[in-house]
């Protein structure tokens, strides 16, 4: 594939009591708990989900 880059994303704040769409974005990235880190592909869809809930997440950068 032309774009095999990944991004490490960690949830640093609870999604409890947050906007439902932001909760869905965090869950869509595969994050279920605080301090859980997942590696997601660097796609426009994933970038959009990260951008929407960026105040809940810590982005480790591209690997």
**What's the pTM value of the predicted model, to 2 decimals?**
0.85
Q: What is the pLDDT of residues 14-49, one digit of tens each?
A: 999 999 999 999 999 999 999 999 999 999 999 999
The pLDDT assigned to 62 comes to: 62
Say which residues have a Cβ less than 8 Å from residue 53's Cβ, sequence separation at least 6: 15, 18, 22, 25, 26
Q: Where do the domains of the chain lie, and which CATH numbers do they carry?
A: 6-62 (3.30.1390.20)
The pLDDT assigned to 4 comes to: 79
Distance spanning both ends of the chain, measured CA to CA = 15
**CA–CA–CA angle 11, 51, 47 (5° rounding):** 95
Structure tokens at 53: 């809930």
Beta strands in the chain, from DSSP E residues, in sequence order: 6-11, 37-41, 57-62
The yes-or-no verdict on residue 63 having pLDDT over 80 is: no
């Amino acid at each position: 594939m032309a774009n095999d880059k990944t991004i490490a994303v960690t949830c640093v704040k609870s999604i409890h009591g947050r906007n439902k769409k932001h909760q869905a974005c965090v869950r869509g990235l595969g994050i279920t708990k605080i301090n859980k880190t997942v590696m997601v592909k660097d796609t426009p869809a994933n970038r959009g989900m990260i951008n929407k809930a960026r105040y809940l997440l810590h982005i480790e950068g591209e690997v």
